[in-house]
Amino acid sequence: MGDKTHAKEMTALLVIDPYNDFISEGGKLWDRIKGVAEGNHCVPNMLRVLQAARKASLRVFYALHRRYRPGDYETWTYIVPVQRAGWLSKAFENGTWGGDIRSEFAPQPGDIVVQEHWCSSGFANTDLDLQLKKHGIHKLIVIGLIAHTCVEATVRFAAELGYEVTMVKDATADYSDEMMHASLHINLPNYANSLVTADQVVDTIGDL
């Protein structure tokens, strides 16, 4: 095996929260991200990156927010605002369409779907770090929702835990342009090794 094989084996695609509630017409949060998401073609770009990754046989991981279940949060002594908001909205409710992954993004055999997380980072209190190590992954290509919460949290944790990240800046969206800007231009450049377009990353993946 040569370097190229190894580069491919140590790189994975990480898909964050491709729930209907976020990215499908009729989803609970779609109306709030629609403006940004349609503006940068977020969903089609996510799909193109996913398809390129599958074609190149990159391992695909899913980091998913806790799907709301009755009883969640009720017994907690301590809670933070983003959790209280989730409790109120019951977004990604377990067993409902909103809590299903949008069909084109459904996990395939061989994909790794990690434990659901309770706040914003796909790494916190889950088996994401373990699963990446079990597969020998050191580099992540990140797509998904939404930029300044779950995506940024996951990229920040990835950096803290030793991973290198390629962030696909037009395969994410947010509630406002200001939030996108804060994430993509102020914070992520400190933690992601590169920020690229879907076009660029599809080319790169093809060359792996």
The footprint of a copy of itself (CB under 8 A) covers 1-3, 6, 59, 71, 75-82, 85, 109-110, 112, 115-116, 118-121, 124-127, 129-130, 133-136, 138, 148-149, 152-153, 156-157, 159-165, 178-179, 181-182, 186-187, 189-193
The residue among 22 and 157 lying less far from a copy of itself, judged by its C-beta, is 157
**Measured between alpha carbons, how far is 2 from 8 in angstroms, rounded to an integer?**
10
What angle is formed at CA 165 by the lines to CA 160 and CA 169, rounded to 5 degrees? 125
Q: How far is the CB of 175 from a copy of itself (least distance, A)?
A: 10
**Measured between alpha carbons, how far is 98 from 21 in angstroms, rounded to an integer?**
4
For 196, the 3-state DSSP assignment is strand
The residue among 44 and 191 lying less far from a copy of itself, judged by its C-beta, is 191
* C-alpha neighbours within 13 Å on the C-beta side of residue 15: 29
The residue among 176 and 197 lying less far from a copy of itself, judged by its C-beta, is 176
Which position has the token pair 């990240």? 165
Q: How far is the CB of 25 from a copy of itself (least distance, A)?
A: 26
Q: Of 188, 179, 127, 180, which is closest to residue 152 (Cα–Cα)?
A: 188
Q: How far is the CB of 29 from a copy of itself (least distance, A)?
A: 14
The residue among 63 and 202 lying less far from a copy of itself, judged by its C-beta, is 63
Type of residue at 20: N
Q: How far is the CB of 181 from a copy of itself (least distance, A)?
A: 8
The residue among 41 and 176 lying less far from a copy of itself, judged by its C-beta, is 176
Which position has the token pair 């377009």? 197
What are the phi and psi torsion angles at 126 (to 5°)? Answer: -135, 180
Q: How far is the CB of 56 from a copy of itself (least distance, A)?
A: 16
